Structure 1
């Protein structure tokens, strides 16, 4: 059954001129701004008994009333799927996601996902939207994710991500030799012709990726990326836009490039590499309850380490 919510708040004087959704996010701190914005549009959050719009400005003194239902995600079944738990306390869970694990159920993956695994690991997560998941990794991207274990923590983590206060660093191997690192500041939106792809588009959402060179090989580069924003496929799209697509990326990688004169073992590995060579190596945030800085690192998986070893050996052999 959905949880019934009924709450009142008066807009204080220091919020004069703020947007309604901003004021609501501060006054009803247990819910995310996106959830409150949705309730405003539905008329579940009213201003002096009248419906409003998220962009309306408040004058101070208004009475905000919230009457809503918080849906519990009971349609997803718990499943005993192994999780590599890096850290767990009463409020947050940090995991190292393997390749091949979809984060959230969708049409093509109705179960067998991280969400199903989380519900088995911690049944109380059924009370939270998306079982406490606050950000995603692509199916074949490995590495660190943080999950909230209660509503206030989920709201706080979402706000940290939106405020760009969560550090997310990735290891990647790309085709092509970079001369230097840099920043890609280019909006990302749905590809105009292929709905499965994202693309740099004029009307897309702001997206910023910083990258630096870790190691150069004959025809590839080992890079480290840091996200400011978290758009779908962001690193994959941004690096492909720079003409340095990720090794193994079947969606954005383009034509396979092999180092001239490379050993057959390296060529075979590059041809058969089963996924985009991308790993979420570092995750840092402020603990929503204790206020302490939290920082975690995950060693790249064996397939990525093997790829780097083969590229390194090839580079050294041709010196």
Structure 2
């Protein structure tokens, strides 16, 4: 993957060193080191430049980022991949159920990483897999892939600063309160490396906001509405933190586990996966600074539990 970025220097940027300019534009220490090690990757007014060179009004700074080798141990596999947005810097993917994000033991050729590797392999483009927000294997919906090291660094920093706003939809058992906040730390259980639990003594802070919603085939009603059919609720959730299994653990802790979640709700039999969908992503473009927002329709296996609301 090769990306060339150009920066017209204005009066406000004058008298900065190139090093300082790059630092303020999100170039991490790793990227700045990479640039130093690759002659010709920094050019000022068409000529190779060093980090200590000063910038002046009217200059044109050009940065070339190129990775010649794809991610190791990710085999390109012809798998379906639903791209809802793509530009030179990032992709937004609508992930299906039963697809892990990263390869792991027993999942070497059935992951989103394999599908993305195939997509770029067909274009003869080396691609390093950088997934910004992770989803469990059976959670559907929106994910961001960074296409180069700079967009990866800036988007990862946005995640750390909670500047990527994620909204989920889940179907839970029982009728939840109209709205609520679950502020309970989450940690591992003693019996499993996978299972998590609310742990007030040793857990990491975790906060989830939920709002009960009503499904309509064309839109979501903005009001808070009960969904009593079959004793289920459609719940909109927003995360302040991103702990492993956070939504699943938090909703179970208040007595409203997700249907289909056999890990935390073993008696469930209504779906063959947890009813959880990454519905909305809102964030700032890592290069242009433009605000972006994407939504994904509720998948059919969740829609079938909610016919039209009569309101």
TM-score by length of 1: 0.69
Does the 8 Å CA contact 1:134/1:157 hold for their aligned counterparts?
A: yes
- Distance across 2 between alignment mates of 1:125 and 1:209: 39
Superposed, which structure 2 residues align to 1:162-201 within 5 Å? 162-201=160-199
Question: In angstroms, what is the RMSD of aligned CA positions?
Answer: 2.7
5+ residue gaps, structure 1: 1-24, 40-70, 257-270
Corresponding residue of 1:56: none
Corresponding residue of 1:237: 249
Report Cα offsets for 1:203-262 as digits up to 9, x if no partner: 222211110111421522111001111111110011011111001100011434xxxxxx
Tell me how many residue pairs correspond in the alignment: 239
Q: Offset of 1:272 from its aligned partner?
A: 4.5
Q: Offset of 1:122 from its aligned partner?
A: 2.3
Corresponding residue of 1:55: none
Query: 2:150 aligned with 1:149, yes or no?
Result: no
Match of 2:192, SS state, is coil
Corresponding residue of 1:44: none
Match of 1:279, SS state, is strand
- Distance across 1 between alignment mates of 2:137 and 2:270: 18
- Distance across 2 between alignment mates of 1:31 and 1:77: 28
Query: 2:215 aligned with 1:204, yes or no?
Result: no
Corresponding residue of 2:156: 158
Does the 8 Å CA contact 1:125/1:149 hold for their aligned counterparts?
A: no
Q: Offset of 1:275 from its aligned partner?
A: 0.6
5+ residue gaps, structure 2: 1-21, 34-68, 214-225
Q: Offset of 1:194 from its aligned partner?
A: 2.0
Match of 2:209, SS state, is strand
Corresponding residue of 1:77: 75
- Distance across 1 between alignment mates of 2:237 and 2:150: 30
TM-score by length of 2: 0.70
Query: 2:124 aligned with 1:112, yes or no?
Result: no
Does the 8 Å CA contact 2:117/2:127 hold for their aligned counterparts?
A: no
Flag the 1:27–1:289 CA change in 2: closer, same or farther, 3 A: closer
Task: Write 1 or 2 for the structure with the bigger share of helix.
Answer: 1
- Which of residues 86, 95, 98 is equivalent to 1:97? 95
Query: 2:239 aligned with 1:227, yes or no?
Result: yes
Between 1:116-125 and 1:159-168, the stretch displaced more is: 116-125
- Distance across 2 between alignment mates of 1:77 and 1:216: 44
